[in-house]
Amino acid sequence: MMNKLKVFLLSVTLFFFKSLVIPKPVISTNFLQCMTIRSPTTQVHTKDSSLYPTLMLKSQQNPRWLNCSETLKPLYIVDPSQEPEIGAVILCSKVQGLQVRVRSGGHDYEGQSYLSRSPFVLIDLINLRQITINMEDQTAWVQSGAPLGELYFSIAQKSGVLGFPAGVCPTVGVGGHIGGGGVGALTRKYGLAADHVIDAHLVDVNGQILERKSMGEDLFWAIRGGGGASFGVITAWKIKLVSVPSIVTVFTVHRTLEQGASKLINQWQRIADKLPEDLFIRIITQNVRRSYGVKKTTSFPELGLEANDCIEMSWIDSVLYFAGHPRGTPREALLDRDHQLYKSYFKAKSDFVNHPIPETALQQAWRRHLQIGEAYVVMEPLGGRMNNISETQIAFPHRTGNLYNIQYIVKWKVNEVKEAQKHIHWVRMLHRYMTPYVSRSPRAAYFNYRDLDLGINGINGTTSYLGARIWGTNYFKDNFERLAKVKRQNREINETPSYVTPLLNLHISSIKRLLANCSSFHNIYSLIFSVNNFPPELSVYSGSHFHIFSTCTTTKSHTTHVHAKNSPLYSLVDVDGRILDQKLMGEELYCAIRGGREVSFRVTTTWKINLVPVPRILTVFTQLSNMVKGLLSLLINGRKLLQAK
């Protein structure tokens, strides 16, 4: 069972804090006053602060969102230096009805870690970046604000034969990367970064700091690959390190379309997932312009190797190599989280491939590639260890059956609307062209390559489960339903609209369930209780026309209880299986169920109604008239007949 939680953001922390309960919210007139009361030493930066522009720009990696009129910048930026400060921010945001965004590395592809369409507070974890490595059990606690480069560097400082299977970009924040899964160069050998998480610290919506035991296994399952930001502020991950060789071999070989690169890629996609798991070969295509007159071409690394193509180096140096740094770059470059190599205006989309793409289709894709300027298609092989891990082991589902994943990226240099529209249109058209050749039902996508074209939440998290499932299954396949159940295990997660995750703040009450053949209250109660951790909207049938199974009349008070057969005399069963009468349900709900379609609110099993006087003897008749003008005559004649009697 899960302890109560309710936020959706992301982060990471260190040390061994037990569940710390922050006192109940203090109602204040504004966010700043609340923070002064709860955490007087915490730095809160308003839009008028001299540091605000610097903090806003420092970590973001996709500046195209900063001038977007459809999004809002944060009302406040908070950069806590200790975990308990986050609880204060969450509670004060809750009191003021503000959303919360959390930024660890600023690499969210759609800017969701630092932008919103509703007023919000940004928690920047840049100061929570401590890394503690335990060489005895080969584990590490790493705070969410630490970038991958700092993690790799810290491990290498302790050992030349230990590493961690995460991404190739050193400026990506650990918090969000692991929360979404974490694909990298060691994925075929060891699986995802999230596969090697053994504990975590999470600040929930009540300001409590939870670890694995107190959060429960369901929530611990969800935050590994299911988007940790959807469930709370993850402040730290405890990870298991893996063995790496003291010397690794790397290579890059370039080929052009004229040199038959399509044939080589066709060959690669048929063997890349089947090669020994120690071998990781990825494909990167890009348009190249050379100043000495060579035609615009597309270059590809490929399988035809010669001895001078191969370079031996340490594992940590290979991290620099894969990150695009030239040979000989000092390892300390991994500590530079502001490296401009990774900052640009861009749009990206992703796919997973289950079957080799026909060579003719690849050729057409490359021709489209040549239509735009700075664009990339990155193909990363899967297979190996990924085939041996169940789709349900953690929330990340893309395992057996996938040959490789594809990332389509287009970049531009000028932040102008027309320029952005042109490049975004291009990547959308390429993605659309690839539809017949990639995974289907659903067309899978990688959560860490977030793509809002697939779908977004409504403002203030008004998205229904059925609406969110359209894009939720793209990212999480069948695991999406379980993620929704985990979210719903504590109703507080969805009852506070000030906490809106970019993707998973769902009103789960819209999920359809049918209670068939409910002939007794016991049946209804049992069925609701069985889904207590996932309360759905229940379609209750008491008869095709509200058929009454039985009645119990009290002549003394002139009232009647109308209820299902064998039911006790109560009124309503709520989503937790509790039996409520008028007093317990409260006047607002009592008002709503009368004329407001009661099954929209809960299962109403009994109505207590006032009776009305009726004559002892009634006279009834039926006569049909095809002429409206005869209606009055019928009524008059009927009255005369009654009087004559």
Q: Is residue 633 in some structural domain?
A: no
Q: What average pLDDT does this structure show over 436-454?
A: 96
Q: Which residues of 85-120 are buried (b: 16+ CB within 10 A; e: fewer)?
A: bbbbbbbbbbbbebbbbbbbbbbbbbbbbbbbeebb
Q: Is residue 533 in some structural domain?
A: yes
Yes or no: say if 304 and 253 are a contact pair by the CB < 8 Å rule: yes
Q: Is residue 81 in some structural domain?
A: no
Kindly report which listed range (163-177, 502-516, 620-634) carries the lowest average pLDDT score.
502-516
Mean pLDDT score of the chain: 78
Report residue 312 as tokens: 């031996």
Selection from 14-23, 344-353, 529-538 with the highest mean pLDDT: 344-353
Flag whether pLDDT at 165 surpasses 70.
yes
Yes or no: say if 144 and 125 are a contact pair by the CB < 8 Å rule: yes
Q: Are residues 272 and 402 in the same domain?
A: yes
Q: Are residues 297 and 374 in the same domain?
A: yes
What percentage of the chain has pLDDT greater than the value 70?
Answer: 69
Query: Sorting pLDDT into bands at 50, 70 and 90, what band is 44?
Result: very high
Q: Is residue 369 in some structural domain?
A: yes
Question: What CA–CA distance (Å, rounded) separates 171 from 193?
Answer: 16
Residues forming a β-bridge with 398:
none
pLDDT at 645: 55
Q: What is the largest CA-CA distance in the chain?
A: 119
Q: What average pLDDT does this structure show over 131-141?
A: 98
Q: Is residue 519 in some structural domain?
A: yes
pLDDT at 542: 38
Q: What average pLDDT does this structure show over 432-443?
A: 97
Q: Write down which residue in 393, 415, 443 finishes a domain.
A: 443
Q: What average pLDDT does this structure show over 378-405?
A: 98
Kindly report which listed range (305-309, 484-488, 536-540) carries the lowest average pLDDT score.
536-540
Q: What average pLDDT does this structure show over 408-433?
A: 94
Neighbours of 171 (CB within 10 A): 22
What percentage of the chain has pLDDT greater than the value 90?
Answer: 53
Helices (H) and strands (E) in the chain, counts: 19, 26
In this predicted model, what pLDDT tens digit does every residue of 560-595 receive, in sequence order? 444 433 333 445 676 656 677 777 777 767 766 666
Which pairing describes strands 310-313 and 248-251: parallel, antiparallel, or unpaired? antiparallel
Query: Known catalytic residues?
Result: 449
Q: Is residue 363 in some structural domain?
A: yes
In this predicted model, what pLDDT tens digit does every residue of 67-122 receive, in sequence order? 666 667 899 999 999 999 999 999 999 999 999 999 999 899 998 888 888 899 99
Range of the domain at 383: 255-307+343-443
Q: What are phi and psi of 87, to 5 degrees?
A: -60, -40
Q: Are residues 427 and 526 in the same domain?
A: no
Bigger pLDDT: 299 vs 580: 580
Kindly report which listed range (173-187, 312-326, 328-342) carries the lowest average pLDDT score.
328-342
Q: Are residues 420 and 274 in the same domain?
A: yes
Question: What CA–CA distance (Å, rounded) separates 121 from 140?
Answer: 30
Yes or no: say if 484 and 213 are a contact pair by the CB < 8 Å rule: no
* Number of structural domains the chain divides into: 2
pLDDT at 24: 42
Q: Write down which residue in 443, 465, 497 finishes a domain.
A: 443
Tell me the DSSP string of 368-428. HHTTSSSEEEEEEE--GGGGGS-TTSSS----TT--EEEEEEEEESS--HHHHHHHHHHHH
Q: What average pLDDT does this structure show over 376-390?
A: 97
Q: Is residue 185 in some structural domain?
A: no
pLDDT at 532: 40
Q: What is the CATH number of the domain that holds 377?
A: 3.40.462.20
Yes or no: say if 142 and 151 are a contact pair by the CB < 8 Å rule: yes
Sequence-separated (6 or more) residues with CB below 8 Å from residue 481:
469
Query: Sorting pLDDT into bands at 50, 70 and 90, what band is 636?
Result: low
pLDDT at 86: 97
In this predicted model, what pLDDT tens digit does every residue of 188-243 receive, in sequence order? 999 999 999 999 999 999 999 999 999 999 999 999 999 988 899 999 999 999 99
Nearest CA to 411 among 401, 426, 399, 431? 426
Per-residue three-class SS string for 175-233: HHHHHCCCCCCCHHHHCCCHHHEEEEEEECCCCCEECHHHHCHHHHHHHCCCCHHHCCE
Flag whether pLDDT at 607 surpasses 60.
yes
Q: Are residues 409 and 558 in the same domain?
A: no
Tell me the DSSP string of 38-74. H-TTS-EEETTSTTHHHHHHHS-S-GGGTT-TTSB--
Q: Write down which residue in 418, 443, 468 finishes a domain.
A: 443
Nearest CA to 571 among 559, 560, 581, 561? 581
Question: What CA–CA distance (Å, rounded) separates 155 from 149?
Answer: 10
Flag whether pLDDT at 547 surpasses 60.
no
Q: Is residue 498 in some structural domain?
A: no
